[in-house]
């Protein structure tokens, strides 16, 4: 896994545009900070580092390239992804892990796959990458500081707060909401009520 991290660091440094690379590095650093706060072990930290480094590996691609690559990788776009192809960068990025980055770890795959809209069945690593992507220190939308301040509480509460802020933004913008986000929300609520 250490060799994978080294290779991923070099590849994203070489391939990503400067701004996206800086977001990637901040997401990695913040994800590792969260992971330590939530008591992750060494193996989890490595998976989180690798997933955070690679989470936006094709975020800079144009819509048509994402659609073409999705077709080539056998990743069928959802109705929403057809309308908003930029969303595909998460699932296409996950599919690219094995082929283009030599990464076969399922946990890393899941963290990249779900990092944008979330979904049911995410592990702790995927949840941490999901949150870090939205609240890394370079994110300066209204309410971002409040979200970062919540990172002192539980991970599931932080996920809920990040989802709520995202839904608030989407409803204000009258933008569509991926049902996977609602699934993620419902799962978190279920887990919290089960104690």
**C-beta contacts of 34-43 below 8 A and 24+ residues apart:** 34/128, 34/131, 34/132, 34/151, 34/155, 34/158, 35/125, 35/128, 37/151, 37/152, 38/124, 38/128, 38/155, 40/124, 40/125, 40/128, 43/1
Q: How far is the CB of 167 from Fe ion (least distance, A)?
A: 17
Q: How far is the CB of 116 from Fe ion (least distance, A)?
A: 5
Closer of 177 and 192 to Fe ion (Cβ): 177
Closer of 107 and 116 to Fe ion (Cβ): 116
Q: How far is the CB of 194 from Fe ion (least distance, A)?
A: 30
Chain residues binding Fe ion by CB under 5 A are 56, 116, 133
Buried b (16+ CB within 10 A) or exposed e, 21-56: bebbbbbbebbbebbeeeebeeebbbbbbbbbbbbb
Closer of 56 and 69 to Fe ion (Cβ): 56
| Residue of 56, 87, 53, 55 lying closest to 70 (CA atoms) | 87
Q: How far is the CB of 100 from Fe ion (least distance, A)?
A: 16
Q: How far is the CB of 59 from Fe ion (least distance, A)?
A: 5
Closer of 133 and 178 to Fe ion (Cβ): 133
Closer of 4 and 56 to Fe ion (Cβ): 56
């Amino acid at each position: 896994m250490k060799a994978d991290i080294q290779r991923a660091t070099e590849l994203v440094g070489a391939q990503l545009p400067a701004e996206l690379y800086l977001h990637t590095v901040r997401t990695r650093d913040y994800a590792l900070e969260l992971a330590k706060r939530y008591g992750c072990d060494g193996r989890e930290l490595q998976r989180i580092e690798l997933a955070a480094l690679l989470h936006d590996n094709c975020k800079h691609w144009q819509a048509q390239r994402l659609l073409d690559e999705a077709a080539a990788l056998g990743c069928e776009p959802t109705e929403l992804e057809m309308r908003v192809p930029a969303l595909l960068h998460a699932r296409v990025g996950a599919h690219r892990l094995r082929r283009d980055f030599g990464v076969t770890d399922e946990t890393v795959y899941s963290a990249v796959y779900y990092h944008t809209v979330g979904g049911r069945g995410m592990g702790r690593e995927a949840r941490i990458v999901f949150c870090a992507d939205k609240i890394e220190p370079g994110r300066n939308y209204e309410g971002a500081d409040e979200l970062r301040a919540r990172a002192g509480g539980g991970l599931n509460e932080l996920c809920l707060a990040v989802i709520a802020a995202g839904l608030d933004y989407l409803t204000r913008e009258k933008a569509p909401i991926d049902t996977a986000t609602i699934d993620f929300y419902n799962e978190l609520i279920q887990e919290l009520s089960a104690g």
